[in-house]
Amino acid sequence: MAKKALITGITGQDGYYLAEFLHEKGYEIYGLVRRSSQNIEQRLGKLSEYVHVEHGDLTDSLSLRDILGRVQPDEIYNLAAQSHVAWSFKTPESTFDITGAGCLRLLEAMRQTSPHSRFYQASSSEMFGQVQEVPQTEKTPFHPRSPYGVAKVAAYWATVNYREGYNLFTCNGILFNHESERRGEEFVTRKISIGVARIKLGLQDKLLLGNLEAKRDWGYAPEYVRAMWLMLQQNEPDDYVIATGETHSVREFCEIAFAHVGLDYRDFVVEDPQFYRPAEVNLLIGDATKARQKLGWKPETTFRQLVERMVEADLENQKRLLRNSGETPRPR
Ligand code: NAP
Ligand code: GDD
């Protein structure tokens, strides 16, 4: 019989790639979708052909208990979150409710109605915040610098607590930034790749960004969802850092992205304080040795390949939009 997986956050970047990955492995997939989701059909795309959509919300325990009780999934992947760090400063309470308490609600629903399930929590390098050591490992102390980071720390410990307290199979994947052609448009990498494409086609003159010196450990999302699955296939539940082990600044991302289309980022990027955060995470770089040794996981895509792939995809998207609108491009 096919294994069943429930994915929360199925309409997000990772939800898409994870569903695709599990489908190829023969899983029956259930995806949690909330009422306020926008453009569901477009975001699910070809997933609609095989994903069973379950309506519910991480802020609503009753819906979670109902779904888990009926579906009895073998594996639960909790990818849902208010995941935008800058936005979390504007909506700290609802961010905590979804990103922190939401994980607790799902764990408790699992304990009560489906305790045999294996549980993956989408933990984040943002928990390291003001980093206490370089590079960051599973043992590095947390020092979150945003309401989002604080909520993720609460969810991390709830996941550990349900493992230790109730002997449930629960894992934290501490994933460093991972990007793709499906990355949300408000995150910096995608904002840059769309900006580069529009500037190249003469649709935009400037790209306004915040802190260009922040450094991140950026990997390719489709490779990261495989690590989530691997964690749930082990004999014992555990926590793992997933990262490339390289760090690059936002400025370097811009430099490569603009150069790929023959432009110099200094002619187009404007640093605008409206995009600064009340507290910044200046440097992230992960050490994924444990994942390599125990899960046999390692990243494949290089930083340059990632940047160029995103720019190419957005050039195609923007050209298609232009064709559909009937406008004439004025490429630089
Ligand atoms: P994303 O694209 O922002 O997707 C977030 C998902 O959560 C969306 O499907 C969203 O659905 C859903 N969601 C939000 N609030 C919800 C609620 N109240 N109830 C049910 N669903 C809700 O995020 P992502 O980049 O795929 O990341 C997946 C997870 O990994 C997130 O938890 C994120 O915090 C974490 N993470 C991401 C990274 C990264 O670099 N991408 C790194 C570390 C950790 P709607 O369509 O309704 O908005
Ligand atoms: N979003 C955004 N927009 N960020 C900008 C901009 C801008 O215009 N200009 C500079 N930045 C800087 C931010 O200040 C931050 O230092 C860096 O670019 C990355 O910002 P994001 O792409 O928004 O990602 P993030 O690192 O804050 O958070 C992402 O990664 C976390 C893992 O470390 C999100 O995916 C989180 O959900 C995830 O947990």
- Across the chain, mean pLDDT equals 97
Alpha helices in the chain (DSSP H): 13-24, 40-44, 61-71, 85-90, 92-95, 102-113, 147-166, 188-200, 221-232, 250-260, 289-290, 303-325
Does 239 score more than 90 pLDDT?
yes
Atom 4 (ligand 1) nearest CA: 12
DSSP 329: P
Q: Sorting pLDDT into bands at 50, 70 and 90, what band is 332?
A: confident
Does 287 score more than 90 pLDDT?
yes
**Amino acid 131: pLDDT:** 98
Does 35 score more than 90 pLDDT?
yes
59-75: per-residue pLDDT in tens? 999 999 999 999 999 99
114-131: per-residue pLDDT in tens? 999 999 999 999 999 999
Atom 28 (ligand 2) nearest CA: 85
Give the pLDDT mean for 7-26. 98
The encoded tokens of residue 120 equal: 């993956």
The ligand that comes nearest to the alpha carbon of residue 128 is 2
Atom 28 (ligand 1) nearest CA: 79
Ligand 2 probe mutation, 14, 82, 84, 85, most atoms within 8 A of CB: 85
Position 4: which residue type? K
Given the residues 17, 27, 120, 148, the one annotated as active site:
148
| Nearest ligand 2 atom to alpha carbon 184 | 35
Domains of the chain: 4-179+220-242 (3.40.50.720), 188-216+246-284+301-325 (3.90.25.10)
187-210: per-residue pLDDT in tens? 999 999 999 999 999 999 999 999
Cis peptide before 135 (omega within 30 of 0): yes
Atom 3 (ligand 2) nearest CA: 188
**Amino acid 16: pLDDT:** 98
The yes-or-no answer on residue 148 being catalytic is yes
Atom 9 (ligand 2) nearest CA: 210
**Amino acid 77: pLDDT:** 99
Q: Sorting pLDDT into bands at 50, 70 and 90, what band is 297?
A: very high
Given the residues 28, 54, 75, 126, the one annotated as active site:
126
DSSP letter for each residue of 247-304: -EEHHHHHHHHHHHTT--GGGTEEE-GGG--SS---B--B--HHIIIII-----S-HH
Pocket of ligand 2 contains residue 123 by CB under 6 Å = no
pTM recorded for the entire structure: 0.98
Atom 33 (ligand 1) nearest CA: 83
Pocket of ligand 2 contains residue 131 by CB under 6 Å = no
For residue 106, with 0-12 CB atoms within 10 Å meaning exposed, 13-18 middle and 19 or more buried, which class applies? buried
Ligand 2 probe mutation, 187, 241, 247, most atoms within 8 A of CB: 187
Give the pLDDT mean for 96-113. 98
The ligand that comes nearest to the alpha carbon of residue 55 is 1
Pocket of ligand 2 contains residue 118 by CB under 6 Å = no
Give the pLDDT mean for 86-111. 98
Tell whether the torsion through CA atoms of 194, 198, 203 and 208 is positive or negative.
positive
**Amino acid 143: pLDDT:** 98
Cα–Cα distance, 331 to 108 (Å, whole number): 55
**Amino acid 329: pLDDT:** 75
| Residue 298 CA to ligand 2 centre (angstroms) | 23
The yes-or-no answer on residue 146 being catalytic is no
Pocket of ligand 2 contains residue 259 by CB under 6 Å = no
Nearest to 206 by CA among 289, 275, 138, 268: 268
Ligand 2 probe mutation, 152, 153, 179, 216, most atoms within 8 A of CB: 216
Q: Sorting pLDDT into bands at 50, 70 and 90, what band is 231?
A: very high
Nearest to 209 by CA among 176, 177, 251: 251
Pocket of ligand 2 contains residue 126 by CB under 6 Å = yes
| Residue 189 CA to ligand 2 centre (angstroms) | 8
